[in-house]
Amino acid sequence: MLQFKITDSEFKLIRDFIYDHAGINLSDEKKTLVTSRLSKRLRHYSLNSFKEYFDLMIASPKDGEQQVAVDLLTTNETYFFREPKHFAFLEKEVLPNWKGRGPLRVWSAASSTGEEAYSIAMLLDDMLGNRPWEIFGSDISSRVLKSAQQGHYIQNRIDGIPKEYLRKYCLKGTGDHEGTLLIDSSLRKKVRFAPVNLKRPLGNVGEFDIIFLRNVLIYFDIETKRQIIRQLVEKMHPDGYLFIGHSESLKGIHDGLETVMPTVYQKI
């Protein structure tokens, strides 16, 4: 199989594209990743260089090959009930004290294949009973959102789900679907997924009581982080909560927020 090599100038073209489009800052150490993930597209189009691919990509509609490139260059790692301290805080501190002003609205703002959104959905359904709630899940990658909408997972991805939630909210696959799990339709119909580019104006996504923005800020530089946090704060209800990943920080960029505990902030 033909092995492609990327030149410094080609890498810069692709790095500038993904930064301008999505705010993702690729270091020089990511050359191997870019090469391996985009080589399949060179083969698909029978191209000889990454410059040829870049020119083809830029000439295509944004929802065409540009979106394919974004899908390939974004990292989507997630699993159910990731960083359990956040779910414990929701269960013990946030949900029991929620006063309500219409449905409780939660945004999983980097939802990947949906495990985070459905984890939140299980907890809300269990804790709130008949009180109304809804979840919005978004990602820049259209590929992972298709998986999220299906709510269909292989069983080795479900280790974090509490056993009582497995029984209540998950359907075990049989026959051709053996070894998989389907999120119950009662939850899936209350979780909506749509593409959102956090670097662009957010549009009419509504306002939220809780926003999860976990394990995505690490890919942005300080100015992009500041821009994203500013936009998210505008979409939060007063006293709303923002959760970020345990390896992340909002030091110096959390205007309008106060720290409740490490990686959890509340709108002032």
Strands 104-108, 236-244: pairing is: unpaired
Strand partners, 212: 108, 243
Tell me, yes or no, if 139 is annotated catalytic: yes
Contacts of 173 (CB under 8 A, 6+ apart): 179, 180, 181, 182
Tokens of 236: 């939060």
Tell me, yes or no, if 200 is annotated catalytic: no
Give residue for tokens 């000439």: 59
Q: How far is CA 168 from CA 116, 123, 157, in A?
A: 17, 11, 17
Residue of 82, 139, 209, 214 with catalytic role: 139
* DSSP result, 169-199: HEEE--GGGTTEEEE-HHHHTTEEEEE--TT
Strand partners, 78: none
Whole-angstrom Cα distance, residue 255 to residue 268? 9
Rounded to whole angstroms, the maximal C-alpha distance in the chain is 61
Which residues are catalytically annotated?
37, 139
